[in-house]
Structures are given as structure tokens and as C-alpha cells.
Amino acid sequence: MSASLHEAVTPTLVSPGTATALLDAYRPGTDRFLASPRHTLLGRGTAAEIPHDTRPLARRVREVLDARRRAGAPAPIVVGSLPFAPDAPPSLAVPESVRWAPPLREDPLIALPVPDTDERTDWQVTAVPAAARYGEAVAAAVGRMRAGEFDKVVLARTLELTSPREPDLPAMLRRLARRDPAGYTFAVPSGPGRTLIGASPELLVARRGGLLTANPLAGSAQRSPDLAEDVRRAAALLESPKDLHEHAVVVAAVREALAPFCTRLEVPERPTLVRTAAMWHLSTTVTGELADPAVSALDLASALHPTPAVCGTPTEVARAVIAELEPFDRGPYTGMVGWQDADGDGEWVVTIRCAEAEGRSLRLFAGAGVVAASSPEAETAETGAKFRTFLSAVGASL
């Protein structure tokens, strides 16, 4: 199915297969794919890039989109990713054309298996840091928190995967989408020769007209293939003092960041559960009404980023601890990926459950929230469970 420039497809008029057709049409390089619970989009080509300078990012995006609209583009959008570090360059662009479809979860063809046409890849896997060293970092952070230095830090580790040939990114994307079709699946350029690909469960913020929605996740438990054990783990997560505290810290930060923009902000008192194929997460859905219609989705996202769910508290102390204890540059990991239109509507997702591909290598990321009650063994196991989302998509294992 083809559509004209930035033509939105009305879900009720679309035949089955429209969303999966966009998924199947993705090609690495200049394509930008993003699927959410609301819709699926595929951007082709690059009409303009967002510059990197000292002006506020939301202003730079607004100016580029306004210029595209004045040039005759009927409904320009910006798509791409932002890194964890606030001073690092963004990877945001206005596509030459955009095709829209309903959500993947509403397309019955998403249930069909991915044809196994690619050759088997023999991956060489290197953990950075090694699991034992990661556990030592967690223990060091816990000791400093118990001494009162800070309240929480999110520590990550990576798996570096290399193979004799370049990975089949379209096949990986299709497997990720089919594993969790109700989540946020994405593949966007993240730099020269690099592609950010993943399936995140966490919405940072969405704006639609004068309404906003945020869905912070914090506090996790690994799923079990045994139904009774899976239910037990979910119930235990809802009652876990350690995880409830971790979640409450994140929700409080989200409330504090969004309240100045809102005439009304609704924050449920207790979290609920959301599940992915690999994990249970504590979840709170925050909704609000904007006081100023000129505030864009990216304005809101910039005010939220980084939440304690990906950094820690206090923020600047946690950043310093991350820089000290993590032996790698996060790059786009725990940044945000999403889109925004010229009216300020858009969706921005926390960049987790992801990998960055370059040549014949993939770098996978996973992190865990560390608080004073954390144990090195539990946090190492949690990151291992989170890696499985992507490992299953690439046919590798720890």
C-alpha cells in the first residue's frame, strides 16, 4: 500500500495487513520505522535534519518543521532519537515521505511467524562489563547509598555481538515487533553507518492536542514460562517494598516535572502491572491537561528526561556515578526515540530494550535500578532477563 506525502491512514478504512506491510517494507539506511499502541509509521528519505547547536532542542525542531510547512509539505514530522547525554548531538530528521497505518497489535497478520530465510549467524558475545564486575559496581553503589550519598542510580551493562557478516536488521525488526506487538518497536539511523533498533515497553510522554500521557515504568520481575510461577512473580512484584519504593521515586519525579505545564494532572495512588514477553513491570499512567497549547511533546519530553527510571536521584549525582561506574558510553541508550509534528503532537519513548548496529557488530544494552535494598545478584539477573528480548530476535544467547 502506498500513500502520498504524510498522508494519515484512517484505521477503520484499512484492510488487514496495512501495518505489517510497513513493517515488511522497512530498509536500513535512511528509513525510519516506529510502531506504537496508537499507530505505525514508516519514514523514507531525509528532507531536513535537525541541527546541533546551543538553542533549545524543541525550538530547533519547531523551526525546521515550520520551514518545511512553509515550503509546501502538508504535514511534516520529525522522527528519530536523542541520546542519554544532554549535550550530545540528536539523530532527528524530517523524512521526505511518511506512510501511516493502524497499530501492529490490531493487524491480524502480525500473528504470523517471520519466515526464516536468513542464514544462521554465529555470534561472538562479549559482556562489557563482565557480570561479576557489574555485580561489584552494584555493590559499590549500594554501599554509597547506605552511607547517604544518593538515593538511587540506574546501572547498565552491554553485550557486544560480532559476526562474520552484517546482521539482517529487517528480520530482527520483524521478530521484535511480533514478540511484543503492543509495545513500541523502532529502527532509526543513530549516526553515520549506525542504526538504533529495539522494542521499548515505556512511553516517556505523548501529547495529543491539549492532553498529555506519560507511563513511567520502574520495578521489574522476570517472567516465568510456568503459568502459576508467572502469576506468583507478578503478585510478589505488586507487594515488593523495594520495587514499590523504586517506582514511587520515579512517579514523584514525573509529577514534579509535568505539573508546571498542566491545569490538571492525574496520578494514580498505586501502580498496576504491564508485561512484555520477558518481564513484568510496575506501571503508572499519568494524564494531564496542558495550560499552554504551545507546549509541544518534545518540550514535555525534555522536561522529563532523564527520569529516575533511567538515571537515578538526585539526577546530577546519579549521572556522575554512572560516568564513574559504567565502562562505556551509553550513546542513544536511555535517551528517547519518537516523532513530533508541526502542531506539537507526538510520542517519545524511553530507549530501552535496544541495540545499536554498526557494520558486523551489535551492542545490546540493559540496566537495572539500584537502591539501598538492592543486591548485586538480583540486579545482574534482572539485566540478564532484559537482554533476552533482543537476544531472541538475533538468535544469540548469554
CA distances from 342 to 63, 89, 321 (A): 9, 21, 38
Q: Give yes or no: 152 in active site.
A: yes
Kindly name the residue from 106, 202, 246, 326 that is annotated as catalytic: 202
Exposure on the CB side of residue 10, measured as CA atoms within 13 A? 2
Query: How many whole angstroms from its chain centre is CA 226?
Result: 28
Kindly name the residue from 106, 152, 379, 382 that is annotated as catalytic: 152
CA distances from 242 to 24, 98, 315 (A): 42, 44, 20
Residues 6+ positions from 174 with CB-CB distance below 8 Å: 23, 24, 114
At 24, give phi and psi (nearest 5°). Answer: -70, -25
* Beta bridge partners of residue 346, listed in sequence order: 207, 340
Q: Give yes or no: 386 in active site.
A: no
Q: How far apart are CA 50 and CA 66, in angstroms?
A: 12
DSSP annotation string for 13-45: GPPTTHHHHHHHH--TTT-EEEE-SS-EEEEES
Catalytic residues: 152, 202
